[in-house]
Amino acid sequence: MDSVLECFNLTKKYLAKTALDGISLSVPKGTVVGLLGPNGSGKTTLLKLAAGLLQPTEGYITVCGFDPGVESKEASAYQPDRVYLNDWMTVGDLVKMMSDFYHDFRTDRAHEMLKDLNIELDSKLKSLSKGNKEKVQLILTMSRDVKLYMLDEPIGGVDPAARDYILETIIANRDKDATVIISTHLISDIEPFLNYVLFLKDGRLIRQGETDKIRTETGMSIDALFREDFKLRQN
């Protein structure tokens, strides 16, 4: 299997709004993929469909060869764009819970990253700042050994000083065959790590390919290309 995420004619409609409009794509394994697009372009919807948190209106999506379900959740890790933590738990409780449910969860890796980011295991989640909660979530996601990591705005609420550590951690901790899909607006921060991009606009896929190839063909960086593709026209 050379592809970890496949969609065919994937469509998601909410009443009158079409969030995704017949997307067909294939994400190669072993890549760091930037899922890029302006607000409301369908990035979060695509990741939620892959995570099985939404049902498609039409078409299909497979994750590591499975329909979204228990098997796909065992093979992939998803981090949503919001804080989902139980406030009454401590960080240590949460790490224990994750190791209880995921056989591929690496407790030692989680402890190491928490230590590096100065987050105590006995800290109550209630007492952590939003940024630190996001760091904890990211650590929990990246402490798993899976074939596909799907990260929705993983560094949006994190201070710039921690961003580099987190991005380097994401890249360093994954298996060489593992794929990381990062949805973000902070393109300049992640561009050095990307080797594949997907551009979404109004629920449609308008560009996809290897970053080096795109840079050569267009003569622009991904950040510059994004600004060009999504430039707001002024009347």
Contact set with other proteins (CB under 8 A): 14-15, 48, 51-55, 62, 65-67, 69-71, 73-74, 77-78, 80, 82-86, 88, 97, 100-102
Min dist CB 19 to other proteins, Å, is 10
| Pick 53 or 206: Cβ nearer other proteins | 53
Q: Are 77 and 110 in contact (CB under 8 A)?
A: no
| Pick 51 or 205: Cβ nearer other proteins | 51
Q: Are 183 and 27 in contact (CB under 8 A)?
A: no
| Pick 48 or 174: Cβ nearer other proteins | 48
Q: Which letter does DSSP use for residue 95 in this model?
A: H
Our CA dihedral for 100, 103, 109, 111, rounded to 10 degrees, sits at 10
Residue located via tokens 């067909």: 24
Min dist CB 228 to other proteins, Å, is 31
Paired tokens of 134: 């996001």
Min dist CB 210 to other proteins, Å, is 24
| Pick 23 or 214: Cβ nearer other proteins | 23
Paired tokens of 220: 């622009």
Handedness of CA 78, 82, 86, 90 (dihedral sign): positive
Min dist CB 183 to other proteins, Å, is 15
Q: Are 11 and 19 in contact (CB under 8 A)?
A: no
